[in-house]
Amino acid sequence: MNEGGETGLATSFRRLIAQHGPMPVSRYMGESNARYYTTRDPLGAAGDFTTAPEISQMFGEMAGLWLADIWARAGRPEEAIYIELGPGRGTLAKDALRAMASQSLRPQVHLVEGSEALRRIQGGALADARFHDTLDTLPDDRPILLLANEFLDALPVRQLVMTEQGWRERMVGLDDSGAFAFVTGPNPIDDAVPEAQRAAPPGTVIETCPAAATLVEALARRLDLQGGAALFIDYGHLAPRSGSTLQAVRAHEKVDVFAAPGEMDLTAHVDFATLDAIARREGVASSLTTQGAWLTAMGIGLRAQALARATPDRAGELAAAHDRLVQPGDMGELFKCMALGARDWPRGAGFPEGERRKSGKG
């Protein structure tokens, strides 16, 4: 930080805005998170937030068993590989791989991680892991078994706002006091708004996430060609909605989104409805449900009981972790699950039959 307590990135943003005018929300979020994730380990009590794999080993075990079950019903292809997007400290991978090994699945491990700080931690936890900056360098000649927990929420969102003059880009500028503030861009962008939402009242904000859409589209095409399955778990919504969901977290507390760019975690709710439609359009099967419903269907309650019997001194801790992961008032309803699968692969367990929608492609 500089002498006034402002982060270096905030000073850089302020200079850019003064010289060139307001920047899109997507740029503010993208550059802030790029700085944030490349300079620290943000997880755990000493960090800024805690994810489900850090709450309990049961979360990763359920994910690993989910992939192992699909793999077994697909004929146990020996060349299948494990991929994780944004693997944090490697905790999810360790727990998932241990569960997979219990079912005789021991895949080669590929981690998509851009942070050198986190790669060092992941390398210590997963000695044989192979690292990638993007999906582009992953093997393209074998089935994939992919997990991504709290990955999509950190991808930059674009915000559009309805004004009296029509739809405009929502941007970050400076107010009269020199503080960061949301402002509206000058150019009409009505064509970027879905037809059903164009007549919304002034003040309405909608979000899109081009990076998430591009990623899911690319992954769906890989699944169609290579075979396999993928599981995304994140907080978000299952139906289209409006309103800004951009938020910032620092030291486990929500803070103002302009408080300290580059020094806090900026996230937005994932639009699973749109991503589901993209995947189905590309010809893969897509299923949606809540984290609580999925974990319960996978048997996390029985796993908690078994662990409590094996370690009675942890019974209270295990019960609390179970409730935090599945209860509607905690993570159970806020977090959603999206399962993608190649059209000729089995569907994943724990998803309602009514949610298994396939594209008409092919």
Indicate the pairing of strand 265-267 with strand 247-250.
Answer: antiparallel
Strand extents, DSSP E, 69-213: 81-85, 108-112, 130-132, 144-149, 158-163, 166-174, 180-184, 205-208
Which residue type sits at 340?
Answer: L
Query: How many residues appear in the chain?
Result: 362
Q: Report CA torsion sign: 251, 61, 291, 341.
A: positive
Q: What is the pLDDT of residue 196?
A: 84
Task: Classify residue 346 by its DSSP letter.
Answer: P
314: region left, alpha or beta (phi > 0 left; psi from -120 to 50 alpha): alpha
Helix (H) or strand (E) holding 273: helix 272-281
Q: Which of 213, 159, 180, 154 is nearest to 34 (CA)?
A: 154
* CA–CA distances in Å: residue 80 to residues 202, 279, 348: 50, 21, 16
Whose tokens are 């970050």? That residue is 172
Which residue type sits at 349?
Answer: A
Q: Which of 32, 37, 136 is nearest to 89 (CA)?
A: 37
Helix (H) or strand (E) holding 55: helix 52-55
- The number of beta carbons lying within 10 Å of the beta carbon of residue 235 is 19
Which residues, at least 6 apart from 150, have a Cβ–Cβ distance to it below 8 Å?
51, 52, 86, 233, 234, 235
Whose tokens are 């292809």? That residue is 77
* DSSP-derived 3-state class of residue 191: helix
Give the angle 199-203-208 at the CA atoms, nearest 5°. 75
Per-residue pLDDT 10s for the chain (362 aa) are 444 456 689 999 999 999 999 999 999 999 999 998 887 676 666 567 789 999 999 999 999 999 999 999 999 999 999 999 999 999 999 999 999 999 999 999 999 998 888 899 999 999 899 999 999 999 999 999 999 999 999 999 999 999 999 999 999 999 999 999 999 999 999 998 988 889 999 999 999 999 999 999 999 999 999 999 999 999 999 998 999 999 999 988 999 999 999 999 999 999 999 999 999 999 999 999 999 999 999 999 999 999 999 999 999 999 999 999 999 999 999 999 999 999 999 999 999 864 444 433 43
Q: What is the pLDDT of residue 90?
A: 95
Relative orientation angle of helices 25-38 and 116-125, to the nearest 10 degrees? 50
Q: What is the pLDDT of residue 359?
A: 39
Which tokens is 157 given? 């969102």
Summarize pLDDT for 191-228 with one digit per residue, the tens.
989 888 899 999 999 999 999 999 999 999 999 999 99
Q: How much is the pTM?
A: 0.92
Q: What is the pLDDT of residue 101?
A: 98
Q: What is the pLDDT of residue 15?
A: 94
Q: What is the pLDDT of residue 352?
A: 85
Q: What is the pLDDT of residue 360?
A: 38
